[in-house]
Structure 1
Amino acid sequence: MEANENLVEVLNDLVKINNDRIEGYERAISETEGIDVDLKGIFQKMANESREYVAELSKEISSLGGEVETGTTNSGKIYRVWMDIKATFTGKDRTSVLESCEYGEDAAQEAYADALATDAELPTNVRQLITDQKSALLESHNLIKKYRDMHQAINS
């Protein structure tokens, strides 16, 4: 039973980082209101991506007899406060929003790497699920980074 509890904890950590992503991208959508139609579409896609991941992870947690977390991580709360402070001083420009999103994507990559490196026993199907989600999240990270780099190149 302890093995299941450890695995549930690992999976719930991923649920929480995806909840962070959802809140972060919804925040980014509101930050770019009326300015960046292209970014709003990307941000919405990424929030939906995390909703799908939460559903997949929740299914695994439930099958293990665990309770699915509904909150976010402490670092995610810190991240949103940092976004608030940064927005106050730098404005809600495209570069600032993209930099904040990249910071969140870095945190997601770290959370998924931690999950794959856990001491908890990961069944093959769960390891594959985590690996697949991490890979897709890396694509999202790289897209955000590409947009940020392009925007910085245009403005320099």
Structure 2
Amino acid sequence: METTREQAKQQSHDETVASLQELLEKTYDATAGYKEALKKAEHVHLKKYLKERAALRDRFATELSDALIRLDEKPREKGSTTGDLHRTWMNIKQAFNTDKDEAILEECIRGEKASIEEYEEVLQKKPYRPEITNIITSQKREVEQSLSNIKTLEDLA
């Protein structure tokens, strides 16, 4: 029979794993979104930015997967159905948009703001082990920096 302490430890572990899996899934969605946008972008600076963001999100996915493995858990391997549906909607929207680069930038801004909110929500859920908190906090900071960098591209589109 498990003690209250063991139950609390297991619950904490389960909550940490759920939060990391959720971030990992959204990271896969973001990576796929950036790669899809990269195919459609026209401006060279925007293409470079999108390629860098996709690589950054790939790194995030590796960091989150590694953290899950260290917790003796199997990381998710793909993004969400919601992400797939969103990309389909963006493809339809862009097909009718005359300024694709501007639409891509707007979507990047929206996506980065949503990512920051997701990281904030995860960080508010509970205190995690320091190494987990460091990963989440560091990734959130990099997304915030990415959002700042998007604003410099708005003038180019």
Scaled by the length of structure 2, what TM-score is found?
A: 0.85
- Distance, in Å, in 1 between the alignment partners of 2:132 and 2:82 is 24
Would the aligned equivalents of 1:20 and 1:72 in 2 still touch at CA under 8 Å?
A: yes
Aligned twin of 2:6 = none
Larger of the two Rg values belongs to structure: 2
Aligned twin of 2:153 = 147
- What stretches of structure 1 of length at least 5 have no aligned partner? none
Where in structure 2 are the equivalents of 1:1-156 lying within 5 Å? 1-32=10-41, 35-91=42-98, 93-119=100-126, 121-148=127-154, 150-151=155-156
Amino acid of the structure 2 residue aligned with 1:129: I
Higher relative contact order (CA 8 A, sep 6+): 1
- Distance, in Å, in 2 between the alignment partners of 1:151 and 1:103 is 18
Out of 73-82 and 15-24, give the one that drifted further.
73-82
Would the aligned equivalents of 1:21 and 1:50 in 2 still touch at CA under 8 Å?
A: yes
- Distance, in Å, in 2 between the alignment partners of 1:83 and 1:22 is 15
Would the aligned equivalents of 2:45 and 2:153 in 1 still touch at CA under 8 Å?
A: no
- What stretches of structure 2 of length at least 5 have no aligned partner? 1-9
- Distance, in Å, in 1 between the alignment partners of 2:129 and 2:33 is 30
* Offset at residue 47 of structure 1 (A): 0.6
CA 1:130–1:12: 2 relative to 1, 3 Å: same
* Offset at residue 46 of structure 1 (A): 0.7
- Distance, in Å, in 2 between the alignment partners of 1:75 and 1:131 is 25
SS at match of 1:70: coil
* Offset at residue 73 of structure 1 (A): 3.1
Q: Deviations over 1:127-153 (max 9, x none)?
A: 1111111001111112123322x246x
CA 1:82–1:106: 2 relative to 1, 3 Å: farther
CA 1:76–1:146: 2 relative to 1, 3 Å: farther
- Distance, in Å, in 1 between the alignment partners of 2:116 and 2:130 is 20
C-alpha root-mean-square deviation of aligned residues, in Å?
Answer: 1.7
- Distance, in Å, in 2 between the alignment partners of 1:60 and 1:30 is 31
Segments ≥4 residues shifted beyond 2 Å: 73-79
Scaled by the length of structure 1, what TM-score is found?
A: 0.86
Give aligned pairs, total.
Answer: 148
